[in-house]
Amino acid sequence: MIISIALDFNQHGCIILRALELIEKKYRDTSITHKKYIKRLNDYITTLLTNGRIIEAKYFFSELQTLSSEHKNTLLLGYKIAIKTFDSESILHYDKKLVDLDYNFEELVWIRLQYYYSVNNRDGIVNCAQHLLSKSTKLETDKLQFFTDIILNNHELEVFKAFNKYLYRVKLKVIPSFDAKVKFIAYQKLVDIVVRIKITK
Give the pLDDT of residue 45: 95
Indicate if the pLDDT at residue 186 is higher than 70: no
What average pLDDT does range 71-81 have in this prediction?
95
Distance of alpha carbon 169 from alpha carbon 59, whole angstroms: 44
Mean residue pLDDT of the chain comes to 82
Q: Lowest-pLDDT range, 6-20, 84-98, 174-188?
A: 6-20
Domain boundaries, the chain: 1-103, 120-201
The answer to whether domain 1-103 has CATH 1.25.40.10 is yes
Among 80-84, 132-136, 171-175, the least confident range: 171-175
Residue 52 has pLDDT above 80, yes or no: yes
- What is the average per-residue pLDDT within 182-197? 52
Please tell me the predicted confidence (pLDDT) of residue 185. Answer: 64
Is the per-residue pLDDT at 179 higher than 80? no
Q: Cα(20)–Cα(47) distance, rounded to whole angstroms?
A: 7
In terms of pTM, does the model score above 0.85?
no
Of the candidates 139, 112, 146, which has an alpha carbon nearest to the alpha carbon of residue 127?
112
Average pLDDT over residues 121-137: 92
Rg (CA), the chain: 21
pLDDT at residue 7, rounded to an integer:
37
DSSP assignment of 68-90: HTTSHHHHHHHHHHHHHTT-HHH
* Overall average pLDDT of the 95-103 stretch: 95
